[in-house]
């Protein structure tokens, strides 16, 4: 009868509210608004996810256009994080976060689909 359950989350576990109690939470806190990602954000996220860690210049080169604003937006939404390597602290590198994995239903980066997987689905 508990409103909470323990769910597997990546390499650990998380205490989560059972689905039957979501209406009570929504009534108390208000509904969670879903945000949609623009096509540019999806492109940048895919580039970083498959090639991380990536610098802004590398993302710009692969994408063929400036991506600084989109990278900042993805960091604000906690889908990417900024890392500053010890050997080059002035050159920030972008990597995906645990939130990225959770939102896309992945346990680890190796679970990302590969080109061969996409071909087999067609």
What pTM value is reported for the model?
A: 0.67
Instruction: Please write the tens of the pLDDT for every residue from 38-92.
Output: 999 999 999 999 998 999 999 999 999 999 999 999 999 999 999 998 888 888 9
**CA 34 – CA 60 distance, rounded (Å):** 28
* CA–CA dist 32, 35 (Å, integer): 9
Give the pLDDT confidence score for residue 88 in this predicted structure. Answer: 80
């Amino acid at each position: 009868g508990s409103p909470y359950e323990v769910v597997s989350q990546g390499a650990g576990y998380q205490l989560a509210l059972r689905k039957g109690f979501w209406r009570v939470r929504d009534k108390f806190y208000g509904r969670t608004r879903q945000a949609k990602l623009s096509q540019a954000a999806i492109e940048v996220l895919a580039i970083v996810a498959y090639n991380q860690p990536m610098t802004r210049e590398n993302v710009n080169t692969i994408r063929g256009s400036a991506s600084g604003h989109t990278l900042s937006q993805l960091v604000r939404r906690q889908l990417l994080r900024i890392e500053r390597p010890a050997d080059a602290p002035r050159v920030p590198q972008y990597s995906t976060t645990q939130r990225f994995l959770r939102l896309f239903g992945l346990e680890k980066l190796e679970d990302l689909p590969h080109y061969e997987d996409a071909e087999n689905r067609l």
